[in-house]
Amino acid sequence: MTAYIIRRLLLLIPVLLIVGVIAFMLIHLIPGDPTTALLGRDATQEQRATLREQMGLNDPLPVQFVTWITDAVRLDFGDSLFLRMPVTEALFDRVQPTGLLTLYSLSLAILIAIPSGVIAAVRPNSVADRLLMVMSISGAAIPGFFFGILLILLFAVVLGWLPSGGYAGIGDDPVEHFRYMVMPTVALGFSSAGLLARLVRSAMLDVLHQDYVRTAYAKGLGERYVVLKHALRNATIPALTVIGTLLATLLGGTVVIETVFNIPGMGRLVVQSVTRRDFQVVQGAVLMVATIEVLVMLILDILYVYVDPRIRYGTD
Amino acid sequence: MTRGKQQPNSASVDTTEHRINRRTVVHTGVAGAAGLAAAGAMGSIGAFANTGSGSQARAVLSQDAEPVTGGRLRIASTGQPAGLDMHLSGARTVAMIGWNMYEALYTFDAEYETVPMLAEGHEVSADGLTTTITLRQGVPFHNGEMMTAADVVASFERWMPVSSLGLAIEPFFEAITAVDDATVEIRLTSPVAALPSLLARQAQGLSIHPASVLETAGSDQLPNEGYIGTGPYQFVELQADQYTLLSRFADYASLDAPNSGYAGAKAAYLDELEFVPVPDEAARVAGLQSGDYHYLEEIIPDQIAVLGDDPNVAIEILPPRSYGVITLNTAAGLMSDVTIRQAVLACIGVEASGQVTHGEGYFELGPGIMMPQTAWTSDVSAELYNQNDPEAAAALLAEAGYDGTPVRIVATMEDLGDYNAALVAQQQMEAAGFVIELAVMDEATLDENLETDDAWDMSTGAYVFRPDPVLIAAFASCTYDGKWCTEAKRAIMERVLTESEFEARFAAFEELQALWYEEAPAIKLVNNYGVAALSARVRNIIESTHFELEPEFTNCWLTEG
């Protein structure tokens, strides 16, 4: 297992190199540069040209790439052209809101989806099953941003219980932090819960019809024990794969939710940086997200081993 | 020549169907021109009168006669500013934040006249080549230093080569010197009548900073600790994408004169100003309704309808703050042919454009290429405005030998108003026989296209309010989008810039407007009313600033909420 983990970690190097090249090429090959965002719409062409020269944007692309990749190897992604701070600092400032929002949403999705999926599978075609599946389809069908706006209208505008948007750090003011995060978490988590619940239901239905489950019942084990101990554990493997994919989806989903709820997270930063053509930030962020994705997939692969002892990697 | 319209514009605003407490402001125009100082201080006159329900709404907003000190005003801006260096950035958000903490030598009063702020006054030599500016004494910067002539010289020297306004002075500039601590002398090679206007408070204007700060920064962006001015609010903190916080400057040296537009006394009733970047329009509106924000930098008419009759919100319709334009690429391609440009001018009907870009009640028609509330307003060549005549356009196209080459319109959906204007223009031009190729792209791509002469033929946008024609880049510069730069234009603009008497400047400007319609480098659409979306808790703001340009929050206060 250790050798496998090391191999997977080493695989990060070519993956990140390829991702880095693609990110660099994409952001530099699309037209536009940061001068409008920096100087304003009324700037003359001379002003833009002068700024472009000052920022080194007139250097040939290969020169810019070599400079960037050489620094990136040392974990120096350069300075944001717009924010005027190191890219690593800008990204780490925004990891907390995005990371916590993703974590809360994923937790909410799991908390809703697994019980719903299990209940629906244990009592197929019952009223509970139909009700839960209608809710899960609704969750999957309603776009997160639309659901978010509805939540804002109800809880911020009409009832005035929660702030319409913004963010407070969990270390600065935990109560405010949760007040700010409730609606985005629900908006993002609810749609993921729908998808996951349907998958858990389907996986559970498959497992509940397996011979070993019938054997467990024949042995006289109680339903709760059979469902939770024997069936659910086996149904968890496909769910784990989906949870891994879901994490990527949620990270992507934060882009929209962070905009709707005005959360200063990575998603919003990346979108704004693309608009501003803040090349260094886009490149750094893409590399960071790619690293997170690869690491999450590695963790999932490791988890498989513990969930299903039949799975083995390598020789150990 | 007709200057100073005597009647309210024909497209007066009827907003009662939208909101009960909306104030309608229509300009009454002006009669006659204000004389200009021999030095050429920009002359402009204009007055707004409240009519109908408007006066009532203003009374509602101003009912708290006693100012309330304290509180934090939260402003939802459209985006994160790229720093707060006024010299380097002309972005609107930078101006909205920056002018609460910086001041300039001159500013604009309620009548759009250029009046002293940090300057006490000035004299111009008989030949018009030397301007001697006397500075106010005892004006402290936020870092405790006292403002002197050395600070003004350092600020000017940094600002002139990087600002579009400074670049307009540069061809005539000879030297700037500090005569003594309280006197600055600017020597020019030719009289520049509009010099005080060019030095006044506006986007990318000459903000005055301590020389010690500028020496450290050089031509680079000012660091956060370098955001030091003499204004009533001082910089506290900028958290990118979260907020910019300013607090009251206790030692602010206010002018002892009544508040008037941007001029006069500034009371700084509020403890703090917090500018929160909220790019999403729906989120801004929801934040206003829920009380999280007190003012929205921008609101589109569709969102105004969403507000309904919310008693916690006040929507103010203000005088025009910009006008839409269709810019034609005079430098290359189809539109370098003036007859084809005239064909575009002939087929455009502006009312449809106003309807789709701003909606009924939020625009007015007017041929003037300077705003109707300024002394520069004129209806010269009005007969060429809003022609909506596809037959005449088709005849012009035939005369030009148009062969059906597609007209490339470049547009972005990041500004829906501009995009909709492009769609309307497309329809109207197709009806006249043009073949159109509409390319939609993001704003950064659009800007790059506009800089490439052979990449586009036509684009849509807006010219924002400026109180003097020399402050409008499209007139003053030869390299603005579309590159309108004929000999005739350059000669006229030099007169607008250098003539010492307003009457002579105005006569030159009217020639410019006539030339604009004759050469058709761009097509004027409609005047767009400003719209202010405020919390009903905010008091004394519309009355105490030029809201239609960009608001200052230096004389307003918050009632208990």
Q: Are residues B356 and B462 in the same domain?
A: yes
CB B502 within 8 A of CB B469: no
Asked if the Cβ–Cβ distance from B286 to A47 is below 8 Å, we say no
Q: Which two tokens stand for residue B197?
A: 């206007």
Q: Are residues B356 and B494 in the same domain?
A: yes
Instruction: Tell me how far the alpha carbon of residue A260 is from its chain's centroid.
Output: 16
The parent domain of residue B212 ranges over 103-232
Rg (CA), chain B: 23
Q: Are residues B411 and B286 in the same domain?
A: no
ipTM higher than threshold 0.95? no
pLDDT the model gives residue B158: 95
Residues in B closer than 8 angstroms to A277, CB to CB, are 444
Asked if the Cβ–Cβ distance from A31 to B441 is below 8 Å, we say yes
The answer, yes or no, to whether residue B9 has pLDDT greater than 80, is no
Q: Which of A106-110, A146-150, B482-486, B497-501 has the lowest mean pLDDT?
A: B497-501
CA dihedral of B7, B13, B14, B16, whole degrees rounded to 10: -120
CB B202 within 8 A of CB B471: yes
Q: Burial of A76 by CB count in 10 Å (0-12 exposed, 13-18 middle, 19+ buried)?
A: middle
Arithmetic mean of pLDDT, B103-108:
96
Residues in A closer than 8 angstroms to B276, CB to CB, are 166, 262
pLDDT the model gives residue B219: 80
Residues in B closer than 8 angstroms to A260, CB to CB, are 280, 282-283
**CATH code, domain with B525:** 3.10.105.10
Q: Are residues B488 and B392 in the same domain?
A: yes
Query: Where a domain ends, among B173, B202, B232?
Result: B232
The answer, yes or no, to whether residue B367 has pLDDT greater than 70, is yes
Kindly give the pairing relationship between strand B130-135 and strand B173-180: unpaired
Q: How confident is the model at residue B130 (pLDDT cuts 50, 70, 90)?
A: very high
pLDDT the model gives residue A313: 66
Q: Are residues B55 and B139 in the same domain?
A: no
| B94 domain residue, yes or no | no
Q: Are residues B300 and B375 in the same domain?
A: no
Arithmetic mean of pLDDT, A93-103:
90
Beta bridge partners of B296: B76, B533
| B16 domain residue, yes or no | no
The number of C-beta contacts closer than 8 angstroms across A and B is 140
Angstrom distances, CA of residue B267 to CA of B251, B521, B553: 12, 45, 10
Distance from the Cα of B87 to chain A's closest Cα (Å) equals 10
Asked if the Cβ–Cβ distance from A40 to B203 is below 8 Å, we say yes
Distance from the Cα of A261 to chain B's closest Cα (Å) equals 7
Could you give the number of structural domains in chain B? 3
Q: Are residues B118 and B226 in the same domain?
A: yes
Helix (H) or strand (E) holding A234: helix A232-260
- How many Cα atoms sit within 13 Å of B186 on the Cβ side? 28
Mean of per-residue pLDDT scores for chain B: 85
Asked if the Cβ–Cβ distance from A262 to B276 is below 8 Å, we say yes
For the stretch B420-432, pLDDT in tens is 999 999 999 999 9
| B435 domain residue, yes or no | yes
Query: Where a domain ends, among B232, B265, B286?
Result: B232
Q: Are residues B183 and B113 in the same domain?
A: yes
More confident residue, A50 or B456: B456
Query: Phi, psi (5° rounding) for residue B378?
Result: -155, 150
**CATH code, domain with B131:** 3.90.76.10
CB A200 within 8 A of CB A233: no
Q: A149 CB near a chain B CB, below 8 Å? A: yes
Q: Are residues B55 and B114 in the same domain?
A: no
Q: A171 CB near a chain B CB, below 8 Å? A: no
Select from B74, B88, B158, B241 the residue whose CB has the most chain A CBs within 10 Å, as the one to mutate to test that interface: B241
**CATH code, domain with B41:** 3.40.190.10
Q: How confident is the model at residue B435 (pLDDT cuts 50, 70, 90)?
A: very high
Alpha-carbon span B449 to A279, nearest angstrom: 19
pLDDT the model gives residue B26: 29
Q: Are residues B291 and B380 in the same domain?
A: no
The answer, yes or no, to whether residue B48 has pLDDT greater than 50, is no
Alpha-carbon span B513 to B500, nearest angstrom: 20
More confident residue, B294 or A239: B294
Asked if the Cβ–Cβ distance from A164 to B292 is below 8 Å, we say yes
pLDDT the model gives residue B73: 97
Residues in A closer than 8 angstroms to B477, CB to CB, are 44
pLDDT the model gives residue A195: 82
For the stretch A183-232, pLDDT in tens is 999 999 888 888 888 888 888 888 888 888 888 888 888 888 888 877 88
Distance from the Cα of B287 to chain A's closest Cα (Å) equals 5
CA torsion through residues B278, B78, B287, B556, sign? positive
Q: Return residues 271-330 of B near A (CB < 8 Å).
A: 276-280, 282-283, 286-287, 289-292
Nearest chain A residue to B83 by CA: give it: A83
| B25 domain residue, yes or no | no
For the stretch B147-184, pLDDT in tens is 999 999 999 999 998 888 898 899 899 999 999 999 99
pLDDT the model gives residue B305: 76
Alpha-carbon span B204 to B502, nearest angstrom: 25
The answer, yes or no, to whether residue B250 has pLDDT greater than 70, is yes
pLDDT the model gives residue B179: 96
Asked if the Cβ–Cβ distance from B242 to A167 is below 8 Å, we say yes
pTM for the whole structure = 0.81
Asked if the Cβ–Cβ distance from A39 to B91 is below 8 Å, we say yes
Q: Which two tokens stand for residue B455?
A: 């990449």
Return the top range by mean pLDDT from B188-197, B226-235, B491-500: B226-235
Alpha-carbon span A233 to A236, nearest angstrom: 5
Q: Which of A44-53, A79-88, A282-291, B18-27 has the lowest mean pLDDT?
A: B18-27
Alpha-carbon span A95 to A235, nearest angstrom: 32
Count of residues making up chain B? 561
Q: B80 CB near a chain A CB, below 8 Å? A: yes
Query: Where a domain ends, among B179, B197, B232?
Result: B232
For the stretch A250-269, pLDDT in tens is 877 788 899 899 999 988 88
Q: Which two tokens stand for residue B134?
A: 């006397």
| B415-432: burial string, b at 16+ Cβ within 10 Å, e else | bebbbbbbbbbbebbeeb
Of A46, A48, A84, nearest to B83 by CB-CB distance is A84
Q: What whole-number percentage of chain B has pLDDT above 90?
A: 63
Q: Which two tokens stand for residue B469?
A: 């024609």
Q: How confident is the model at residue B282 (pLDDT cuts 50, 70, 90)?
A: confident
Q: Which two tokens stand for residue B531?
A: 């719209």
The answer, yes or no, to whether residue B51 has pLDDT greater than 70, is no
Q: Which two tokens stand for residue A134?
A: 């209608």
CB B165 within 8 A of CB B206: yes
Question: What is the three-state SS of B413-453?
Answer: CCCHHHHHHHHHHHHHHHHHCCCEEEEECCHHHHHHHHHCH
Q: Are residues B73 and B190 in the same domain?
A: no
Q: Which two tokens stand for residue B63?
A: 């009912």
Residue closest to B197 by CA, chosen among B186, B187, B189, B205: B205
Residue closest to B151 by CA, chosen among B201, B230, B210: B210
Alpha-carbon span B439 to B460, nearest angstrom: 12
Q: Return residues 76-135 of A near B (CB < 8 Å).
A: 82-85, 90, 93-94
Q: Are residues B331 and B459 in the same domain?
A: yes
The answer, yes or no, to whether residue A8 has pLDDT greater than 80, is no
